[in-house]
Structure 1
Amino acid sequence: MQNRGENSAHSSETAAAFTRTLAGLKRRGSGLLLVGPQPAMGRACERFLGESKTEPRYRLFVKTDGATCHEHQKCEEVGVGSNAGNVKIIERTTHTRSTATVSSTGHDGSDHGIGHGHDDDSETTIVTSGSLARLGITISEAIDEFERESGGLQSGELRVCFDSLVPLLGEHSHESVFRFLHILTARVRNVNGMAHFHLPTEMDSAAVNTLAPVFDAIVEVNMGSGEPVHRWQLVQQDVTTDWLSL
């Protein structure tokens, strides 16, 4: 990212502007790129899913990484919690998994590379196709269902967690993934939802530089003195915060 930290949010004026911007992202909807080592991501992921004790949440988990880390698995358990009926899971299977294994989780949806299953009352959709378009359509359909079930999603009610962009970047060009994310984040913002996407890599990697314009902010996480810390870069404003505890 160019000029990263040039306008570091350390002054009270900038910090106040940063707080206002975050409130606006929650109100209008947002797409966040979560970057850094996988072990530090769990706390940030849990925070982005939002609490559901005082506000209704509709959570959509998109799973592309069959070897999802333990921290992310815990995050999904928190997301499901006692509101399993408000949770949908879309699992994109890797090419190494057999069709028989996929079909065993639900009825055979091979015409479209999709199957369905249920886990603790949360709905799981299996996508066996490697097509980005098919994955995008499946995600959009899940959001459509949430809209119908809720009678209209309110600001911040929809939370989307995309567990890893790594498999997509390994199978498709950066430009193709960019177009996919551009459409997907626009769909989430259209219902004032908040989506975050895990990308366990370095902040200055080619993938981050290519994909950054799609997102409202890039959230870099790390382990500081044994505890996870994070800092935000607001893409449009080119403002970067100091490191903050999670």
Structure 2
Amino acid sequence: MSSSNPRDFKRGSDESPPDDDFADFLDLLNELKSTGCNLLVVGDAPRELFTQASSRMLGDDDVVRYRTLAVTDATPESIAERLPDPSESPRPVGETTHVLNHAGALRSVTAATDPTTPPDLAGVKETRIADPQLAGLQSALVEAIEEFANRGDSLHPGDLRVGIDSLEPLLDHYGEEVVRRCLRIVGGYVRDHDAMAHYILPKPYDSEVVQLFADDMDAIVEIQLDDTAEDGRVGKQRWHVPSKDLTIGWASI
């Protein structure tokens, strides 16, 4: 779903949230957009569903959004899939998108000279993080956020979008407390600039690691494969807002 436009939220056919809850959900989206938010995207689901959810959270094709996407284990194809269609984007994608590459083997994910790179990534700014400590990625995220936020043309709330795909390699390498501290710092800058950030963690919602991060997030977005869908591998989502004791029933991504 597109966090920038609440009316794009699609009601599930068999598990739609009650009307009162749905109204609360739309109010919540408007509030998160206006004040800045950090979202944890979790679930036991195929990776393409996480890519789809991430694409929606990075914003609609036909609206100017400034996107910073940090990748640890995302493929070039999945990165390209979540960027706007150049024919619909009001601004060149290369001017509005910054990819931070924190993969183990620092091979470029946007190099036009690489025949395996999708053409949609040509011209996209990429920074490869060589610092073996997580502080390198943290600094790069903060700098990218500040760079977009300080542009001459004023940004409206929700114009700046941030993502990390995914947290799993970071947790394996640095441990939970180091990653949690990093997200708290990055999340502070996200809120300061009324941005919207999402962090992908492909783990079940009720797992210990997801619950560890829950208190630091404005909402947790749980995704699953919709087994009732008739047209293939379709995803569904539900939102959890621990601070408001609110859970919204399943709906289409």
TM-score tier by shorter-chain length is: 0.7 to 0.9
Show CA shifts across 1:96-136 (max 9, x none). x27xx57xx7xxxxxxxxxxxxx522211110112122211
Name the stretch that deviates more: 84-93 or 119-128: 119-128
1:26 aligns with 2:28: no
Name the stretch that deviates more: 77-86 or 121-130: 77-86
CA change 1:88–1:139 in 2 (3 A) is same
CA contact (8 A) 1:39 1:69 kept: no
Instruction: Give 2:159's aligned amino acid.
Output: E
Show CA shifts across 1:19-38 (max 9, x none). 10111101111111111222
CA RMSD in angstroms, aligned pairs only: 2.3
1: CA distance between counterparts of 2:199 and 2:83? 18
Show CA shifts across 1:170-203 (max 9, x none). 0122112111111111111111110111111111
Q: Which runs of 4+ in 1 moved over 6 A?
A: none
| C-alpha displacement of 1:79 | 7.3
Q: How many residues align?
A: 217
Match of 1:41 in 2: 50
CA contact (8 A) 1:26 1:194 kept: yes
Matches within 5 A, 1:50-69: 50-53=59-62, 55-65=63-73, 68=75
Matches within 5 A, 1:1-246: 10-36=17-43, 37=45, 38-53=47-62, 55-65=63-73, 68=75, 72-78=78-84, 82-94=92-104, 97=105, 120-225=122-227, 226-246=233-253
CA contact (8 A) 2:16 2:250 kept: no
Name the stretch that deviates more: 216-225 or 72-81: 72-81
TM-score, normalising length from structure 1? 0.80
1: CA distance between counterparts of 2:16 and 2:243? 14
CA contact (8 A) 2:40 2:219 kept: yes
Give the unaligned 5+ runs of structure 2.
Answer: 1-14, 112-120, 228-232
Give the unaligned 5+ runs of structure 1.
Answer: 1-7, 106-118
CA contact (8 A) 1:34 1:218 kept: yes
| C-alpha displacement of 1:214 | 1.2
